């Protein structure tokens, strides 16, 4: 059986080595099978900007307004970073979340059976499609197939990891995320007594079935809204929201950085 498959990736900013790559063999396999490839980049900025505002119905009930000026002043000292992400860089990363979380708006409901997201730092190798088709046969009945985190198992441990490296002056962390915002995001999730903080995922690869659009658009809208209103660290919001919206997740016991059929990082 042939499935209708959309492959999506995005990198907004200067074009070059940061965009998703694939070998000639992989590209030929995708064309032969009929996979539609959507690589969003700077040329689609106008389209993405038109969708950047989230659905207000899914705005999180965060506690930011409840904090006093004194509290914010104390927090600015407590969570001080040696550098912060620029507004432009954060906005570009937010735009790149749209094909990942709001793809159904960008593709005009074209009726695909599966939607696959790959982060832009991957290179897809010759056998990538074969690997994905095998996963579809094994796990395609689930709403979402994603890698279980290979090193950590909760959003608290993820935040602690980010905090540790921010305090060690990691440029990778501090140029992307604001520690204070992540702290309060996690605290808001933990204040929900129905949330069990016992899962974490690596979100560089996502395999959505069509059921996610048919039954769970609210989850997709909420995930993007939490990236918009909280932080763009989407691995913090994902465990909370898949639990809240009762998403049928199939966790692969596989590091996303060692996915079969891929190479992570820049590859010539």
pLDDT tens profile 170-223: 999 999 999 999 999 999 999 999 999 999 999 999 999 999 999 999 999 999
C-alpha 5/C-alpha 207 separation (Å) is 10
Q: Which has more confidence, 264 or 108?
A: 264
pTM of the full structure: 0.93
Examine the pLDDT at 246 and tell me if it is beyond 90: yes
DSSP letters for 133-192: HHHHHHHTTSSEEEEEPSS--SHHHHHHHHHHHHHTT-HHHHTT--HHHHHHHHHHHHT-
Query: CB neighbours of 28 closer than 8 A, spacing ≥ 6?
Result: none
Alpha carbon 115 to its chain's center: 13
Distance spanning both ends of the chain, measured CA to CA: 34
pLDDT bucket at 65, cuts 50 / 70 / 90: low
Q: Which of 103-112, 118-127, 161-170 has the lowest mean pLDDT?
A: 103-112
Domains of the chain: 5-62+91-150+201-264 (3.90.550.10)
Distance CA 183, CA 55 (A): 24
| Buried-state track 27-49, b at ≥16 Cβ within 10 A, e below 16 | eebbeeeebebebbbeebeeebe
> CA nearest 220: which of 249, 242, 187?
242
CB-CB contact of 165 with 61 (8 Å): no
Closest C-alpha among 134, 132, 122 to residue 22: 122
CA distance 168 to 96: 27
**% of the chain beyond a pLDDT of 70:** 92
Q: What is the mean pLDDT of residues 12-30?
A: 89
């Amino acid at each position: 059986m042939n499935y209708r498959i959309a492959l999506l990736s995005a990198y907004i900013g200067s074009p070059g080595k940061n965009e998703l790559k694939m070998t000639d063999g992989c590209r030929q396999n995708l064309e032969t099978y009929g996979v539609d490839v959507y690589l969003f980049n700077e040329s689609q900025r106008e389209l993405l900007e038109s969708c950047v505002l989230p659905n207000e119905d899914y705005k999180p009930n965060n506690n930011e307004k409840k904090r006093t000026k004194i509290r914010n002043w104390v927090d600015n000292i407590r969570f001080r970073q040696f550098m912060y992400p620029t507004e432009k860089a954060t906005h570009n990363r937010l735009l790149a979340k749209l094909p990942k979380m709001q793809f159904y708006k960008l593709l005009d409901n074209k009726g695909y059976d599966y939607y696959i997201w790959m982060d832009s730092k991957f290179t897809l190798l010759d056998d990538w499609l074969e690997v994905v088709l095998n996963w579809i046969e094994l796990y395609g009945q689930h709403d979402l197939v994603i890698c279980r985190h290979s090193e950590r198992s909760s959003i608290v441990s993820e935040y602690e990891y980010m905090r540790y490296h921010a305090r060690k002056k990691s440029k990778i962390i501090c140029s992307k995320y604001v520690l204070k915002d992540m702290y309060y995001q996690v605290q808001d999730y933990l204040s929900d007594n129905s949330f069990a903080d016992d899962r974490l995922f690596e979100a560089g690869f996502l395999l959505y079935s069509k059921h996610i659009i048919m039954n769970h658009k609210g989850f997709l809208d909420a995930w993007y809204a939490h990236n918009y209103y909280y932080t763009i660290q989407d691995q913090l919001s994902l465990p909370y929201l898949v639990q809240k919206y009762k998403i049928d997740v199939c966790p692969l016991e596989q590091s996303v950085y060692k996915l079969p059929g891929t190479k992570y990082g820049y590859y010539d």
